[in-house]
Structure 1
Amino acid sequence: VPLIVRGPSALSLTPDLFAQLQLPVSEGPPIALTQLAKLEETEGPVKIDRENGSRFAAITSNVRDRDLVSFVTEAQATVAKEIKLPAGYRITWGGQYENQQRAAQRLAIVVPIALGLIYLILYTTFGSARQATLVFLNIPLALIGGVFALAAAREYLSVPASVGFIALMGIAVLNGLVLVNHFNELLAQGRSLADAVRNGAIRRLRPVLMTASITAFGLLPLLFATGPGSEIQRPLAIVVIGGLVSSTALTLVLLPILFKRFGIGKEA
């Protein structure tokens, strides 16, 4: 039965003194430790950690210059090929990898629901599936810029980057909504389609640019952060700023062209 015996620190350095350690008993004088146990010096673990009633040993690793998921996938394949675990042993991959996998599973559910709600709101706002789809196309246009920005910065897709993509979707939809809504206002005033698209794009140039530039300037401190937490802040800022560049440019150029071609039905 393993027991923990405490005493002065000098006892651990002198085996003879440790063997003569006096243990108090409920009745009678103290007795020496050697009267109760046979002492021998052996090697053993410095500490024993337990989780859920099982012993475990934690092995940590810091990943640099590559994405975490591919590193863990490669490590899992190497361990499965070269290490044969004894009976009763198992390996659990945790830490940031486990958190990222959980977040990916949640995002796989939340993002489609959010996209569906966005499209439903757009359809309710415009009363037109054509115009709702045109505004909805701003989302992939924004995502393209975020992906290229990550690649140019040599960053990898992570949970903070995924959060940046989600924020980017909202900004992209807002810019498209402002532009298409103004097109409809000009059409309601009796303007021709070509005139409404041309003047609407010019009039909404400043609001769209201001929205994108203010958001980008606000994220610059996160982009150049170097202290603790920068590994979370930087990918988010890279995705949003890169996506704003592509989304704003394509919104002001491509969306008016698409609206003129597909924005209203033939009956209009």
Structure 2
Amino acid sequence: MLDRLIEIGLRNRLLVLVMAILVMAAGWRAYTGLPVDAFPDVSPNLVQVFTVTEGLAPEEIETYVTYPVEAAMTGLPGVAKVRSISNFGLSVVNIYFEDGLDIYFVRQLVGERLQEAREQIPAGFGNPEMGPISTGMGQVLFYYLEDTSGNFDLTEMRAVQDWLVKFHLQTVPGVTEVLGIGGWEKQFQVDVRPEQLLRYDVTLDQVIGRIEANNLNVGAQFIEHNAEEFVVRSVGLARGIDDLERIVIKTVDGRPVFLSDLAAVGTGGAVRRGLQTRNGTGEVVAGQVIKLFGTNSSAVIAAVEEKL
């Protein structure tokens, strides 16, 4: 049999050469498309639920946030175990499913039960949300923003990261989330003066309520006039410090008391619990790219670098 194959090969040298070239081309294509990871991804079938709260202690988070989420997840088909961590201002619930179940199917199950959990959590205690469709091995790339002109501070650089760079990178196939690290998240801050609250007999809850009520646009249907429809709406969404300062908190003898009479309004950075440095010499704004579960890490990294 072997002699017969050798004889056929010798008689059809061109055919053998063409077949050899095809095999080499197929091998090269398979090699270049081979998934490459630093370590094999042996992560369990996991869905994470995060709830960010405003300064609650771990005991309160465990009672009012973590427990309702855990209770809502019990009884889901394929659940192997449920684990949770309650930290200061943050609740993390890990739902482990049996191997072999489709990740998108289990996330759909968790999403349906999250609505039940939201109804059990008191108002103002946070809104539980699912984490990215990734694993612990999904962190594939770090990058940092460099201001070559020297005209931007860390707050402005963080705004560039969160509102420009992030959304562009999230369009890359295989990227499930882009996280910003370092810098300051820009906020409009209201620094209330206690003596002015006493002077005008206003409570802090009233100030917060009036700011929330006056910072939105409201639609009012339409008016018909001369066979035409005119849309009526109230434009009250604050677009800057001047708009916030002109919010009316109350009236005293027909005179409006504005927010500027009670507080100083300005911009500042949100409270943070860490920073990002480069080479230990200075603080920078950086980004972290997380790849989609099951995608090729090398292909995602190459696509992100090209986009950058």
TM score, norm. by length of structure 2: 0.20
TM score, norm. by length of structure 1: 0.22
The structure richer in helix per residue is 1
Structure whose alpha-carbon radius of gyration is higher: 1
The structure richer in strand per residue is 2
